[in-house]
Amino acid sequence: MLTARNMLYLYIQHRRIQIVLVLLSFLFFVSGFSFLVVRNVSAIDVGLRSAESILTSSKTLDLQAVDEFQLQIAEGEKELTSLNWKVSPVLWFSPILQFVPVIGGDIKHGRAMLDYSMHLVRAADLAIQASRPTFDLRLSEQPVEKILPEVVIGLEEGKSLFRRANDEITLARQSRGRVIADRLSGSTANRLNKADALLFQLDGVVGLGLAGPEIIGAVISVQDVMSHVKGVFDGSGTTSFSELSIDLKNTEKKLRVVREIFADDAQGTKKNISFDFLPSSISLGSDSEFIIMMFELSHDLVQAALPLVVLGEDLQNLSLDGDIQIKIDLMARKLESYEDDLQMASTALTRFDGFYEEFDKDDLPVMLADLLARASKSVDTLKDIVQASLRIPDLLDTANQALILVPDLNRDYKALLQGTQSLEDVLETTREIRLHLEAVHSEYHQIIPLINNASDIVDPTQLMSNSGKLLDYGYVVAQAAELTLLGLQQIVDATASSNDTPSGQLQAFAALIEEQNTTFLQAQSALDAGVVSRSSLDHLLKDEVFAQYLQILDERTATLAAVLTFAVSGSKYIEEIQLLRAKMQDLGAVLSESLLSPENILEPNKSIIPVVSDGLTDARSQLQSLKNMWAELETLELPFKSLGLFDTENVAASLSLSDTVLASTDRILSDVQELFGPGSDGASYDSLQILLGKIASDWPTQVSTSHEALESMTDLAETSQNLMVNPSALVANELDEARKFFSYVGRLSGLVVDLFGYDDPSNIIILGQDDQEIRPTGGFIGSVAEMQITKGDLAVTKFRSSYDIDPTTHLVMPIAPDAFGKYMAGVPALMAFRDSNWSADFPTSAQQALDLYRLTQTTSAKWVVAIDTFALAYMIDAIGGISLQGHPNLIDGEASRALAAGFDDKDGLGYRCGPNNSSSFSNRCFSEDAMVAILTHFQHGETNKELNELMLTLLRGKHLLIYAEDSTYQAILNKLNMSGWLRQVPGDYLMVADWSAYSKVNDHITRTLLYDVDMSDVGSTAHLRVRYQNAIESDTPCAQIFDTTRVCYWNYARVYTPLGIKLLEEPYFQLPSGTIYGLRKIQSGYDVSDENTFEFAETTSHTEMAAFLSVGSRETRELSYRYLLPSGVVTPTDNGNFRYDLTVQKHPGTIDDNVFINIHLPKGSDVVSVLGDAIVEDAKVSFSVLLDTDQQIGVEYRLPE
């Protein structure tokens, strides 16, 4: 930069100039004038140098330095003025000297250059004086927002000085115009260029002083308005639309003024304005083109913001009446009316982006960087809002189309539930709705980030936001609905060809649900998202129209939640049903093991009672668990039934009914457990009466209640019989055991009511059987009593000898079977009452006894009970013995058996009849007195043994048999194995029944059954040997006559096997010598020495093989049978194995008969399991059992591969 110092140096340092000045001084003013020039030029140099220092170092100088420099400038200006006056005479000659070589031009333009320098110094002095108020701000640490207004004020205060400085600059330009630079010497021209640079800098400073208030004021306005724009558009400010609109218009005016300031003048040049003189924090830099462009863009931004503000205010004042669709349409059309303005705003914003991206922001002046940053933030906000505003109309139109379809989500689902619309159609409609809503969802979520918090601008009424959220909720609901229906469709398609058992269908359904689990989980995820979305929409309930749509979607959400609750956790529900089925099955199993079970009532195991109780508790607990689960679904609308898949409507009712059934079961079993459970004191006569009372009164009620519940369950199951899975039917089916149990309990309670006289007094015929003279049902019928029971209270009303029952005329007596006449009388005979128990099937014998009894006795008895001497002995021992008038000693059980048979006791004492006895036979008298005594003791509780245990012992050992004339009750007794019937059982069967013909030696006979079954060949063959051993020691020969010495065992032995056996060889059992039949045949001239007594016959239920034999003293006789068993005795199992079961029925009236069984399996077979204690040796399984009750054995085996 050319300084004053350098300009003067032009005159005094250049050698040629110095020569000229010396010559001129010598010519005109001699040497004194030259000295003056040199001194004044030095002072001027100091002033101009100071001006340059201030202009170039203004941002770092403090006020003291400015003051010093300003004094120097003033001094230089004074000296320069003095020099101008003093050298004027000399400079008068300068044109004459222009032709001086090299320096002639410098001499010629000396005057102009001196004037140029003088005006520059004056302008600098004035500019510095005008700018002095701003120097205090240069080092200020205040925020830019506070500095800018103060700068404007400072510039306004110095405006008059800036104008004077501008005038000096104008004069300087004029002086400069008189200087022709190309005529100057090189060094002078160089210094002139530096002076020109100083002129330009001064011009820029003065230009800032004159135009700065308007420019900086516009900057302040732009800063403020951009902050307001951002605050209004992003919701962070408090300025209103109207206030912002005024601010934008004022700013637009200010920017228009600034544009004029920076506009080209008539000569096409721009005004010189320098911002370098300002503090760096508020400087706009020195790139005027850039500054001008910045203000142009600011103007564009203001113009872009204006329509948006007007739009926001317009939308805010928009009247939105009508339903939601009308509201949406009004808003869409309003936004469309601003499309042109929005497009122009978009263009302006795009242009700003292009400009802003080209510059390195780090190199920008602080003030300009701040301004651009503020503008950029506003631009980002404005761009998003413009883009959103342009896209919202289409979004709103799409939303309107989607809203029309939303009600279809519910309407179609209800049609599906009612079966009036197919799943395929509903799925297609739902998919269409989902696609419409998806379009809204996608567009909405693209627009929402654009407007951020500026919804007050484009959505001041929150109409679009609320509609978007509503449809967003609708979208996820529709998405969940479509996925759910898709999963159901897959299940329906897969089940179309299903044809399986109910249990299999249940498993198949569970598998299908599992296969679709991914789909259902996706649906559940969508629904969960919908629930989250819904949580932010409660405020819409205040709007009636929005509330209607929310209600529709909420209802669909609820129905979907119900379906998915079942579908997603379908396997859990199926598992619960299966668990319940298993528990019900277990319950059925334990019911069969309960004290009431027909199979085990005679074999009570007290440890079973907790098992039964636990089984019942488990079943009820599982049932309750399932009830709780289904209670949640009971009131929900599920489509499974209408789709033909799953009965979900009636399950809860079925479970409740099931609970009723189990509660009744619990009530009944608890009665039994109370009396017979592990913690009970056992059953006394009184407690038995209590139990019988409960059975008679409460059990029928429980049975009736359960039957009604079971029938209702059946009805419920039938309503869904065409569904793939019918849990109601499954649950009902699994209660079949309970159904059977209650049917059985109902008959049992009816039996108790009838037998124990709870409706009307019950009369019972009691047959006293002498087991010393063994008969198929227990022994010879020696006496008969009639007992009456009234509400459980027993009383003997009649006691007679069996011989007194026969009619006086034999014409009414039935003819005895041939074998009876043959081996008892030797001739055809009539059937007397005492011999009525010919049949090994006690119900048959009891009915015959009852018929014969009625021939001579008037009775209403419908029940027959048979007891043997063992029963009498057990009861006497239970009461600790009895004392009777007919015997001097206390009679125990052992003595009672002898006395009941007509023998003396071990002390050689017999029994004497009394005057009140109904018979003259000692054994009949004893039996009569003993029965009364026993009953009396029982009624008074004088027992040392639990009555229930005693009764079970008698029934289990078949020492007590019961017959009911009522076929229903008899069937129960048969099932309970209390009737002494010839049992009809699956598998193999064996019973031996003896008829002793006038020989009372049963206590001395040992029976042994040896039974071998061979399965090693084709078919199963059996070899049965019935061995009799007579322990009596006597030399008396056997002779079948009345009143024998009781040595020989005359026996008509019958063997009962399954139907369908085939003899492998014909047995031969020779007629024994000494028989009545043989003697009579011999007397009639017949030879009976080779007569075979073997007989073979088939009844309706069994095969009967018979033979007559005698077993003498110390003799052993054996009956042997070989036969082929029917194929049904060996059955295949579900797991591919085979099973053989054998039931050996005990002979009534006997004890401790031994049975030895050998089962020979096919060679190479493996024994899988056995029933009973056995010894397994390779393919041979051996059992040894004691016939104290009926015995069952079994073998499960696997054939070799």
Closest CA to 828 of 1104, 1096, 1080, 1110: 1080
Longest dimension (CA), the chain: 215
pLDDT band, very low/low/confident/very high, at 70 (cuts 50, 70, 90): low
CB distance 1033 to 1089 below 8 Å: no
pLDDT band, very low/low/confident/very high, at 32 (cuts 50, 70, 90): very low
Burial of 912 per CB tally in 10 Å (0-12, 13-18, 19+): middle
Q: Which residue has the tokens 């029994």?
A: 911
CA gap 301, 978 in Å, rounded: 109
Report pLDDT digits (tens) over 43-62: 444 545 555 555 555 544 45
Alpha helices in 268-365 (DSSP H): 288-316, 324-337, 339-357
Residue 60: CB atoms within 10 Å? 10
pLDDT at 1147 over 90: yes
Structure tokens at 49: 């140098």
Residue 460 pLDDT: 67
Residue 19 pLDDT: 42
Residue 174: CB atoms within 10 Å? 13
- 854: which residues sit within 8 A by CB, 6+ positions away? none
Q: Is 3 left (phi over 0), alpha (psi -120 to 50) or beta?
A: beta
Most confident of 20-34, 394-408, 453-467, 1108-1122: 1108-1122
pLDDT at 285 over 70: no
Please report the beta strands in 544-700, taking only residues with DSSP state E, as ranges in sequence order: none
- 689: which residues sit within 8 A by CB, 6+ positions away? 792, 793
Report pLDDT digits (tens) over 633-656: 666 677 777 777 777 777 778 888
Give the phi and the psi of residue 567 in degrees, each rounded to 5: -70, -50
Lowest mean pLDDT among 158-172, 279-293, 702-716, 994-1008: 279-293
Task: Please report, for residues 937, 1075, 1192, the alpha-carbon distance to residue 1082 in angstroms, rounded to integers and kept in the order given.
Answer: 55, 10, 45
Q: Which residue has the tokens 């516009």?
A: 218
E strand or H helix that includes residue 1022: strand 1021-1030
Q: Among residues of the chain, what percentage have pLDDT more than 70? A: 73
Structure tokens at 693: 């009372």
Structure tokens at 457: 């601008």
Distant-in-sequence contacts of 1095-1102, Cβ < 8 A, 24+ apart:
1095/819, 1096/1063, 1098/1059, 1101/982, 1101/984, 1101/1059, 1102/982, 1102/984, 1102/989, 1102/1056, 1102/1057, 1102/1058, 1102/1059
Ordered strands of the 960-964 beta sheet: 793-801, 780-790, 762-770, 863-868, 960-964
Pairing of strands 1138-1145, 988-996: parallel
- Domain layout of the chain by residue ranges: 4-212, 306-567, 570-752, 762-976, 988-1198
CB distance 1120 to 1028 below 8 Å: no
Q: Among residues of the chain, what percentage have pLDDT more than 90? A: 24
CA gap 1028, 992 in Å, rounded: 12
Closest CA to 444 of 463, 476, 480, 472: 472
Pairing of strands 762-770, 780-790: antiparallel
Q: Rounded to the nearest 10 degrees, what angle do helices 4-12 and 30-56 cross at?
A: 150
3-state SS track over 706-760 = HHHHHHHHHHHHHHCCCCCECHHHHHHHHCHHHHHHHHHHHHHHHHHHHHCCCCC
Q: Which residue has the tokens 């004022």?
A: 250
Identify the CATH number of the domain defined by range 762-976.
Answer: 3.40.630
Give the phi and the psi of residue 469 in degrees, each rounded to 5: -65, -40
Residue 1121 pLDDT: 98
CA gap 442, 433 in Å, rounded: 14
Measured in residues, the chain has a length of 1201
pLDDT band, very low/low/confident/very high, at 781 (cuts 50, 70, 90): very high
Residue 1151, SS3 per DSSP? coil
Report pLDDT digits (tens) over 1097-1124: 999 999 999 999 999 999 999 999 999 9
Residue 13 pLDDT: 42
Burial of 1089 per CB tally in 10 Å (0-12, 13-18, 19+): exposed
CA gap 768, 834 in Å, rounded: 10
pLDDT at 335 over 80: no
Residue 43 pLDDT: 43
810 or 702: which carries more pLDDT confidence?
Answer: 702
- 548: which residues sit within 8 A by CB, 6+ positions away? none
First-last CA distance in the chain? 120
CA gap 245, 737 in Å, rounded: 87
CA gap 1068, 1071 in Å, rounded: 9
Residue 1006 pLDDT: 96
Residue 571 pLDDT: 67
Distant-in-sequence contacts of 63-66, Cβ < 8 A, 24+ apart:
63/132, 63/135, 63/136, 66/128, 66/132, 66/135
Structure tokens at 607: 């440890």
Fold of 988-1198: Immunoglobulin-like (2.60.40)
CA gap 238, 257 in Å, rounded: 28
pLDDT at 14 over 60: no
- pTM flag (> 0.75): no
Pairing of strands 1130-1132, 780-790: unpaired
What is the overall mean pLDDT for the chain?
Answer: 78
Please report the beta strands in 1059-1179, taking only residues with DSSP state E, as ranges in sequence order: 1062-1063, 1095-1098, 1102-1111, 1116-1124, 1130-1132, 1138-1145, 1153-1160, 1166-1171, 1174-1177
**Dihedral through CA 285, CA 287, CA 291, CA 297, nearest 10?**
-130
Task: Please report, for residues 18, 67, 184, 318, the alpha-carbon distance to residue 117 in angstroms, rounded to integers and kept in the order given.
Answer: 20, 21, 16, 69
What's the whole-number mean pLDDT along residues 934-940?
81
CB distance 382 to 229 below 8 Å: yes
Report pLDDT digits (tens) over 121-131: 778 778 777 77
3-state SS track over 338-376 = CHHHHHHHHHHHHHHHHHHHCCCHHHCCHHHHHHHHHHH
